[in-house]
Amino acid sequence: MNGDNQVDAVVIATGELWTNENEQKYAFDYQNKLIVKGLVGNQGIVAFTPAFIDYYYAPGDFPDSLLYMATCFATYDMSMAQEFLDAGASVYMGWSQNTVFWTNSKTSVNAFRLLADGLAVQQLCRLIGSGGFYN
């Protein structure tokens, strides 16, 4: 995180609200930048960094998995995707830009319906324009 509270990698908000106790509650993770204080609007949220995945998951922990990160900027760059792919995932998908909850939710349901019907991941990424990385 730089002086402007900007990170140089994708972070994923967990949904857990950030409180004054988080730095102590998650001391190791916070001090080692495995988690950071993310912002969703004006609300502080616990967010995990690519280093969290690198530290806690080994190669093969996500064997042939498809990871779908229904969150803003999940594929902004390769930083988060690469950690999941290195841990064995075959596919990492998500939004490359900001997204709106309603659009994200509806698109996510439709995306999984299309995958269940046999649409290839590459075709789905092109169709919805979300971006995606795969091994």
pTM, two decimal places = 0.81
State the Cα–Cα distance between residues 30 and 41, nearest whole angstrom.
Answer: 21
User: Which mean pLDDT values do the consecutive 10-residue runs of the chain (135 residues) have?
Assistant: 60 93 96 94 93 97 91 86 96 80 72 90 77 49
> What range does the domain containing 44 cover?
12-51
Residue 1 lies in a domain: no
Regarding whether 61 and 104 lie in a shared domain, the answer is yes
Residue 73 lies in a domain: yes
